[in-house]
Structure formats: structure tokens, C-alpha cells
Amino acid sequence: EVQLVESGGGLVQPGGSLRLSCAASGFPFDDYAMHWVRQVPGKGLEWVSGLSWNSGIIDYADSVKGRFTISRDNAKNALYLQMNNLRPADMARYFCAKGTTSLFGVFDIWGQGTMLTVS
Amino acid sequence: EIVLTQSPGTLSLSPGERATLSCRASQSFSASLAWYQQKPGQAPRLLIYDPSNRATGVPARFSGSASGTDFTLTISSLEPEDFAVYYCQHGRTFGQGTKVDIK
């Protein structure tokens, strides 16, 4: 079964740090770009960051650039998001999403998300 | 950066009715546009991409079309499980969503 499972969310104080993880299974993880997308409860979707299959291309939303770092470990089928200097505006549910063979395309598989509370 | 504007914000319809959702791009592009469905408490689900191909397992009542910078998601006859929020997406950009609720 194709699956993405996020973990690592929780409560953090403003200015704090947290690392999110996403465990992938059921597909050749190292063939695809991967992304983080977030959603404030009751609001819309916001793309946060993405990286290509080999981490050769990495991109961030302006709102997180310089504070968040995306990475992946293809040997472990894992995606990460290191979040530093967190702000109340970062409070959201963070979804891991599978992309295509190029950096940007559709997001065809999503995890259930992990909630970040900044307070 | 491309801006995607969805309309209407809310669509109130009855089961069996046809739903037409719009997504307008601020400039033309050649790459894919996708539509997602999200139900409360769930992750988004890919419905349509490129812009008229249905994702695996998506019922035939869902269809997508494009005309220049205007994209449309049509649900031919609403089923009870179709009442949800729908987002369009291109690249790093999502539309703000259209909520389809029961009239």
C-alpha cells in the first residue's frame, strides 16, 4: 500500500525548533520529488517546501526561507523538515506529499499530516 | 508568481445537481493544473490533473477542462460524499478553495 506517515508535530514556544518526519512506503521513494504543504485549521493549503529525488533541487516558500530546511534520506525512505525560529504564523497541520519525477507537478499521495502548535 | 483564483467561494447545491467550479490563473502556463478534494479532518486527495485526466479511482462524474487561463472542475451529478472543499493547484500555488455544501 502506498503510504506517507508524518510525525514530529507538537507544541513549541515561539523561537523554538522542531523537526518533522515523513515515512514513505509502497512506492520507489528515490524516484520522486517530495514536498511539505501546510494548512492552518479552517484555512487553505500552502506549499512550504519541496526537493527533487536526489536533493539536487530544493525550493522554499518565501514565508519559511532561511528558517526551514527540507531534506530526505532515500536509504530510509524518509523526508524531513527542520523548522527553526518558529513563529505563531507557522502553526498549522503539516502534510507530506509525493510529487512527480520533476520538482513541481501534481501531489498524488498525501499523508494525514502532523499538527504544529506554536504558543 | 502565478496566482490562482477560485470561484465561487461557496457553492450550495443539492444531491443530483451539477457542480461547476472555476479556477482562473493570473497568467498562462503550459504545465499541469490539478484539482484536489478535501473533506473535514482528512488530507487532500488528487482528483484531476493535466487538466482533464482523472486520478486513479476517481469516479467518472468528475471532469476537468481548460480554456486559456480558465480551468473548470465539473461534477456531473453530486453524490452525498462529494460535499467537500476543492482546491486547484499549479506548481507551488494553490487556489483558495471552493466549498461545495448541501443546500
Q: A114 and A97 in contact (C-beta within 8 Å)?
A: no
On the question of pLDDT at A7 being above 90, the answer is yes
For residue A12, CA distances in Å to A25, A33, A71, B15 come to 29, 28, 21, 43
Q: Tell which of B29, B47, B92, B98 to mutate to test the A interface (max A CBs under 10 Å).
A: B92
On the question of pLDDT at B31 being above 90, the answer is no
- The string of pLDDT tens digits covering residues A54-71 is 999 999 999 999 999 999
Percentages helix, strand, coil for chain B, rounded to the nearest 5?
5, 50, 45
On the question of pLDDT at A84 being above 80, the answer is yes
Residue B29, pLDDT score: 86
For residue B99, which amino acid is it? K
Q: Enumerate helices (H) and strands (E) in chain B, giving the number of each.
A: 0, 11
Alpha-carbon gap, residue B33 to B23, rounded angstroms: 10
Q: Which residue of B has its CA nearest to A5?
A: B43
On the question of pLDDT at B30 being above 90, the answer is no
Residue A119, pLDDT score: 95
Q: HEC string of chain A?
A: CCEEEEECCEEECCCCCEEEEEEEECCCHHHCCEEEEEECCCCCEEEEEEECCCCCCEEECCCCCCCEEEEEECCCCEEEEEECCCCHHHCEEEEEEECCCCCCCCCCEECCCEEEEEC
Mean pLDDT, residues B20-31 taken together:
92
Taking contacts as CB-CB distances below 8 angstroms, the residues of chain B near A108 are 46, 49, 55
* pLDDT bracket for residue A101 (50, 70, 90): confident
With pLDDT > 70 as the criterion, what percentage of chain A qualifies?
A: 100
Residue A102, pLDDT score: 83
Alpha-carbon gap, residue B40 to B47, rounded angstroms: 16
**Is B44 within 8 Å of A95 when comparing Cβ atoms?**
yes
**Is B92 within 8 Å of A95 when comparing Cβ atoms?**
no
Mean pLDDT of chain A: 97
On the question of pLDDT at A103 being above 90, the answer is no
- The string of pLDDT tens digits covering residues B47-101 is 999 888 999 999 999 999 999 999 999 999 999 999 999 999 999 999 999 999 9
Mean pLDDT, residues A88-101 taken together:
96
Alpha-carbon gap, residue B34 to B14, rounded angstroms: 25
Residue B50, pLDDT score: 87
Angle at A100 between CA A112 and CA A83, to 5 degrees: 50
